[in-house]
Amino acid sequence: MTRLREFLLTGAALGLLGIGGVGCTGQGADSAAAPPSGPAATSPAAPTASAPSDGDADVTAQEKRVKAALDTVDPDAPEFVESGTERVADGVHHRSHLTKGVAYRLTLVCAGEGVVVPVVGGEEIPAVPCDGVPVTHRIASAPAELPLSVDGRAGASGAVGWNIVAVTG
């Protein structure tokens, strides 16, 4: 199962859990008959989650921009291996299981500010600016397990994404 499919299935399951929890407030017929009392009766309930800040909205927009830039290969295509998106502050720390000796293309894109530094298979490759433009790196003869790490330089922010596809022909 690809990472994208796992992400979608997890999101669907969490959504169903959220829908199932609607209406489960513990207020039945007994509590409806009794008038509310105490401080909660006169003051509105405090929100349990704060509204997203502008920074969160910016990162969400940047994540969408990253996903759109990487959306060049159908996840159901035979050459597609896997992909992912993270916040620059969190970085990417992933191990891909590949077919040893096969050629692959790694595409990285960062949207936001600053520069990220990718390390592929223990080798630092050229830095990627967070300008939303995809950068590709060819893996001529892949190991069976390829570590990928992407960290932001000082002051970098936004979203970073990657995908790996097998090179055919």
Asked if 118 and 88 touch (Cβ cutoff 8 Å), the reply is no
pLDDT at 140 over 60: yes
More confident residue, 62 or 36: 62
Locate all alpha helices (DSSP H) within the chain, ordered by sequence.
3-21, 29-33, 39-42, 54-70
Q: What is the C-alpha to C-alpha distance for residues 143 and 98, in angstroms, rounded to an integer?
A: 7
What is the pLDDT, as a whole number, of residue 89? 96
Q: Is the pLDDT score of 141 beyond 60? A: yes
pLDDT tier for residue 163 given thresholds of 50, 70 and 90: very high
> Residues 111-135: pLDDT tens digits?
999 999 999 999 999 999 999 999 9
Six-digit token string for 159: 């979203």
Structure tokens at 169: 């022909």
Tell me the CATH number of domain 3-13+56-166, given options 3.40.50.1580, 1.10.1660.10, 3.30.70.20, 2.60.120.380: 2.60.120.380
pLDDT in tens, 77-97: 999 999 999 999 999 999 999
Q: Which of 146, 148, 152 is closest to 62 using CA atoms? A: 152
- pLDDT score of 6: 55
